[in-house]
A and B are shown apart, each in its own frame.
Chain A
Amino acid sequence: MRLNRDRVIIIGGGIQGCAAAYFLARRGQDVTLIEKDHIARHASGVNAGGVRRLGRDLVEIPLSLASMDIWQSLESDIGVHADAFHPCFYVKVALDEAGQKLGLDRIDSLRKAGFQHECWLDDADIRKRLPHLSCRTRGGILVEGDGWAVPWRIVQGFAAAAARHGASLIEGCRVLNLEFDKECWQVTTSQGLFEAGQVVNCAGAWAADLARQAGEPVMPLSAHAPMLAVTERRRPILPAVMGVLGHTLSLKQLDTGQFVIGGGVRARADMQANRGEVAIPELAASMRLATTLFADIASAPIIRCWSGIEGYMPDNLPVIGRGSKPGLVHGFGFSAHGFQLGPGVGEALADLVMGQQPRISLEPFRPDRFEADT
């Protein structure tokens, strides 16, 4: 029998937790993933599914690119059904002078930092790629090969792959307390006590609570509920995922013909009730932008709006790294753009647990980077 010290417990069945479980199990680790609701119940299962490198914070780009490598090999390597991911292109257009300046400055700073994945297109090029666009643009930024995925199926895919490699997934089980006792973590849950040598905190918007229980310094994590709307089916007019420079719009057309609109606007997260509120009127600005881009969308009925609970950090960068207690690793605070990062984060978390050097530097995501301010 293996010692409990060899066990790794992952808290949270979102994309980060499931990807980490997969990479650890594949490397032969004894992994138990604990999820209080069900796999992909929260942000990871209800997000907009945008898989984008475009527009990432400069310090996040290496992680995003590393993650993209894994996205490319989802089916061959991990066994996630490929039609859950639809690569296309991702474009953010400028609608005014301010947007154009944002875009051109961005390309400039990317080039200086040595990145080539984003490129600038002028209005004519954009209209060639998006012939149904109803407005003129002042150019825009494009990344080839970004796209969208069915988030729920991707997360389920990672969970199933982890299980195939021997991970045990426990749903409907809440971690109530975390305590380090001599050489083991004592993880008290609604289904009893678990022991583990290492604990990975992938609890999303709840992660700060768990960190606090584990005796970590206070984490400035806040919870909000980004919102989305989906329309009825329409004829296909949008072969890309779109945004507008200087705005938070995310707009795509699924293969069902339905438009998904929203992303940046957020409502209140009701942590007590375990769900995000929906405040449709707040989505009005996104609707206006969407109809500016494609007049056709105006007549599409919205059939459903929803939101998901997400954890935000003050600098909009995630927390990924070892905590101050032995055997504790954090991966949370993805500030509404963690879905694309998920596979890469899962791999990096597995490296940390196993004491290996991750492919990319995790320095910008250090858990203690806020300590000086508090």
Chain B
Amino acid sequence: MKQGSYHDLVIIGAGPAGLAAAIEASAGGLTTLVLDDQPAPGGQVYRQIVQNANSRSARGYLGADYWSGHELADAFARSLAELRSECRVWQIGKDRDVFFSQHGKAQKVRAGAVLIATGAMERAMPIAGWTLPGVMSVGAAQTMLKSSGSGADGAVFAGSGPLFYLTVWQYLQAGLTVRAVIDTAPARLGLRHYWLALPALLQPGLLLKGVRWRREIRRKTRYISGARSVGIVGDSRATGIRFRDARGGELTIAAEHIFIHQGVVPNVNLTMATELDHRWCPRQLCWHPRTDIFGQSSVAGVFVAGDGMGIAGAGAAVLSGRLAARRILAGKNGRSSGVPLFWRLLKFRQTAIRPFLDTLFTPPQEWRTPEDDTTIVCRCEALTKADVMAAIAMGVSGPNQLKGYCRAGMGRCQGRMCSLSVQNLIHDHTGVPEDRIGHLRIRPPIRPLTVGELAALVDEDASE
């Protein structure tokens, strides 16, 4: 074991949750190391925040919320916590050994406590034609804007959800033209939406922002709401998008760039591979690691914070990061931690809008399980809905057994993209509740690690 490879706290992820936890923990005297795969801190929401500081135009079109991340990044820079960028964490081993690969070499650090703050990822969108060149996720479209200040002109956006409207708005602010926005959220709201909006009033800023984005989008683009049966058309690349509008009319809009989105889900690869307990969240239709309010998972010394716990947004991510850091500090100092009631209230206020948003933007069934038999479900192995259904019909008990029958989830993404869709198809076909069907067993390495990189791990150990 090399000297200096031990840290009181190792945090995976330099988004708002990870940064906030690092600031708090290092101020409390813990030696803190943050590992992140991006070239700079910020996570998804504040991607490239430090680099964009000097760009007045980026400040303008990315919006005030984006810009507010600068304070966090500054505070982190002033803290004693250490950041290592471009590190892909691929396994948390026994006794909190954290393995990652950086610049072509596999390495290991040891941790007193581990905080998994790996954030969210976009839910896969198995609609007809989603794998054609020219189709991208809205998140990827936003990443282009944040990291290189560029985007595609004349694109069509299809989908719904906060990130969807935000990105369209940012494209418009950046002066890019948007050919059309095809909204798949239900055209008319049900009564329960209004009830759920009551607690959401505790976060009035967010509600207002949503209204403002939508108004501006309606004003500046061709906006179609209540769209159904969305599919991409084109043979070797996308040439357009077809759908039925709220009145049932069939429409096709020609476009070369099509950005689609149906919300985000916790990125559970690392928490699953670390074998933390998870539970099915029926409201968000995805898996959450099981934790207490401080993010303590079912495994001693392993914590979770941020959107990786459950989708709650950047503000809640900061709060959950601080909570986890406080609990870890308290544990280290042999104290029981803090004032749960105060924190509980704060957390309630931070997440008050979620039930409303989750219900309003529930991904439509037809985006979760494809309508057409020929639509690809597992991209890595190029398996269509029909392929997967044929395997399900052979009587599989769950996604893990399904791998044996048809290789869904056996490819390089390890089922990141198809696990929820496959689970959904099994659920539709058998009626077995989703929590009983379970998730694909995620095996390490959860990030690409070459044979050569792993071979190098031995050389290092042997030389000690």
Binding site for B on A (CB under 8 A): 38, 40, 45, 152-153, 156, 172, 229, 231-232, 259, 261, 273, 277-281, 283-285, 287-288, 290-291, 297-306
Interface residues of chain B: helix, strand, loop or mixed (majority): mixed
B444 interface residue, CB < 8 Å from A?
yes
Complex: chain B residue closest to A231, CB-CB: B451
Q: How far is the CA of A278 from the CA of B94 in the complex (A)?
A: 10
Q: What chain A residues lie within 8 Å of B450 (beta carbons)?
A: 298-302
Q: Which candidate, B16-24, B56-64, B256-264, B453-461, is the interface stretch facing chain A?
A: B453-461
- Asked whether, in the complex, the Cβ of B445 is within 8 Å of the Cβ of A298, the reply is no
Does B214 have its Cβ within 8 Å of any Cβ on chain A? no
Taking A231-B451, A279-B94, A280-B99 as contacts, is the C-beta distance between A304 and B108 under 8 angstroms?
no
B93 touches A281 (CB 8 A): yes
Cα of A42 to Cα of B451 in the assembled complex, Å? 26
Q: Contacts A284-B455, A300-B450 hold; do A305 and B445 have CB atoms under 8 A apart?
A: yes
Q: Is the CB–CB distance between B452 and A305 below 8 Å?
A: no
CB of B397 closer than 8 Å to a CB of A: yes
A304 touching B414 by the CB < 8 A rule? yes
Residues in B neighbouring A152, C-beta threshold 8 A: 404
Do A290 and B451 have beta carbons less than 8 Å apart?
Answer: yes
CA distance A365 to B145 in the complex (A): 68
Cβ contact within 8 Å between B404 and A45: yes
Most buried by A among B106, B108, B275, B458: B458
Asked if A280 meets B91 with Cβ closer than 8 Å, knowing A287-B451, A298-B455, the reply is yes
Query: Which parts of B412-464 form the interface with A (CB within 8 Å)?
Result: 412, 414, 443-445, 448-452, 454-455, 457-459, 461
> Chain A residues with Cβ under 8 A from B445's Cβ?
280, 302, 304-305
User: Which B positions have Cβ atoms within 8 angstroms of A?
Assistant: 90-91, 93-94, 97, 99, 106, 108, 275, 397, 401, 404, 410-412, 414, 443-445, 448-452, 454-455, 457-459, 461
Taking CB as reference atom, which chain B residue is nearest A273? B275
Which residues of B have CB within 8 Å of A172?
Answer: 397
Could you tell me the distance in whole angstroms from the C-beta of B87 to the nearest C-beta in chain A? 16
Q: How far is the CA of A168 from the CA of B228 in the complex (A)?
A: 48
State A335–B457 Cα separation when bound (angstroms). Answer: 28
A300 to B453, CA, bound (A): 10
CA separation between A105 and B108, bound complex, in Å?
41
**A302 and B443 within 8 A (CB):** no
Beyond A279-B94, A280-B91, A281-B108, whether A298 also contacts B401 by CB under 8 A is no
Closest chain B residue, CB of each to CB of A230: B410
Measured between C-beta atoms, what is the minimum distance from B396 to chain A in Å?
Answer: 9
9 contacts between A and B (CB under 8 A): A38-B401, A284-B454, A287-B451, A288-B459, A290-B455, A291-B452, A299-B450, A304-B414, A305-B443
* A273 contact set on B, CB distance < 8 A: 275
In whole angstroms, how far apart are the Cα atoms of A45 and B401 in the complex?
10
Return the chain B residue nearest A261 by Cβ: B451
Identify B458's interface contact among A45, A156, A288, A300, CB under 8 A: A288
Q: Please give the distance in Å from A275's CB to the nearest CB on chain B.
A: 8
Q: Are B451 and A300 in contact (CB under 8 A)?
A: yes
Of chain A, the residue at the smallest CB distance from B450 is: A301
B88 to chain A, nearest CB (A): 11
Chain A residues with CB under 8 A of B459: 288
CB of B72 to closest CB in A, whole Å: 33
A300 to B448, CA, bound (A): 9
**Nearest CB on B from A47, distance (A):** 13
Nearest-neighbour CB distance to chain B for A35, whole angstroms, equals 12
Contact A291 B411 (CB under 8 A): no
Q: In the bound complex, what is the Cα–Cα distance between A261 and B449 (angstroms)?
A: 14
Extra 5 A-B pairs, beta carbons < 8 Å, given A284-B457, A287-B451: A156-B404, A284-B458, A287-B454, A291-B455, A301-B412
Q: How far is the CA of A279 from the CA of B90 in the complex (A)?
A: 11
Is B452 touching A298 in the complex (CB atoms < 8 A)? Answer: yes
Give the Cβ gap from B217 to chain A, nearest Cβ, in Å: 40
List of B residues within 8 angstroms of A153 by Cβ: 404
Do the beta carbons of A281 and B443 come within 8 Å of each other?
Answer: no
Nearest chain B CB to A331 CB, angstrom units: 24
B97, B275, B410, B445 — most chain A CB neighbours (10 Å): B445
CB-CB < 8 A to B412: which residues of A? 232, 301, 303
Complex Cα distance, B443 from A278, in Å, reads 8
* Beta-carbon contact of B455 and A287 below 8 Å: yes
What is the bound-complex CA distance between A273 and B91, given in angstroms?
19
Which residue of the partner chain, among A259, A287, A302, A303, contacts B411 with CB atoms under 8 Å?
A: A303
In the bound complex, what is the Cα–Cα distance between A214 and B459 (angstroms)?
49
- CB B398 to nearest CB in A, in angstroms, measures 10
Which residues of chain B are near A287, meaning CB under 8 Å? Answer: 451-452, 454-455, 458
Kindly provide the distance from the CB of B382 to the nearest chain A CB, expressed in whole angstroms: 12
Give min CB distance, B364 to chain A, whole Å: 31
Instruction: Pick the 3 closest A-B CB pairs, nearest first.
Output: A298-B452, A287-B455, A284-B458
Partner of B93, one of A232, A279, A291, A306: A279
**Which one of A259, A277, A302 contacts B449 once the chains associate, using CB atoms below 8 Å?**
A302
Q: Least Cβ distance of A36 to chain B in Å?
A: 13
Q: Could you tell me the distance in whole angstroms from the C-beta of B100 to the nearest C-beta in chain A?
A: 12
Looking at the assembled complex, report how far the CB atom of A212 sits from the nearest CB atom of chain B, in whole angstroms: 29
Are B451 and A302 closer than 8 Å at their CB atoms?
A: yes
Separation in Å of the A92 CB from the closest CB of chain B?
Answer: 20
Min Cβ gap A249→B in Å is 12
- Which of A45, A301, A304 is in CB contact (< 8 Å) with B443? A304
B443:A297 contact, CB within 8 angstroms: no
Complex interface: chain A residues within 8 A of B411 (CB): 303
- Complex alpha-carbon distance, A172 and B398, angstroms: 13
- Min CB distance B410 to A, Å, is 8
Complex CA–CA separation, A303 to B445 (angstroms) = 7
Residues on A with C-beta less than 8 A from B106 are: 281, 284
B397 and A38 contact, CB distance less than 8 A: yes
Say yes or no: B458 contacts A285, CB within 8 Å: yes
| Interfacial chain A residues near B108, Cβ < 8 Å | 281
Give the chain B neighbours of A285 by CB distance below 8 A: 458
Tell me how far the C-beta of A190 lies from the nearest C-beta in chain B, rounded to whole angstroms: 16
A302 vs B108: C-alpha distance in the bound complex, in angstroms? 17
Minimal beta-carbon separation of A296 from chain B (angstroms): 10
**With known contacts A281-B108, A284-B458, A305-B445, A299–B90 Cβ distance under 8 A:** no
In the assembled complex, the Cα of A235 lies from the Cα of B419 at a distance in Å of: 28
Q: How far is the CA of A57 from the CA of B454 in the complex (A)?
A: 32
Q: Are A280 and B451 in contact (CB under 8 A)?
A: no
Write the nearest CB–CB distance from A136 to chain B, whole angstroms.
Answer: 19
Q: How far is the CA of A298 from the CA of B108 in the complex (A)?
A: 20
- A306 CB contacts on chain B under 8 angstroms: 443
Report the minimum CB–CB distance from A73 to chain B (whole Å).
24
Per the bound structure, the CA–CA distance linking A231 and B454 in Å amounts to 12
Instruction: Give bound CA distance, A152 to B451, whole Å.
Output: 25
Residue of B nearest to A232 (CB): B412
A303 interface neighbour in B97, B99, B414, B455, Cβ under 8 Å: B414
Give the complex CA separation of A367 and B412 in angstroms: 44
CB distance from A272 to the nearest CB of B (A): 12
| Bound Cα distance from A299 to B414, whole angstroms | 19
A261, A278, A304 — most chain B CB neighbours (10 Å): A304
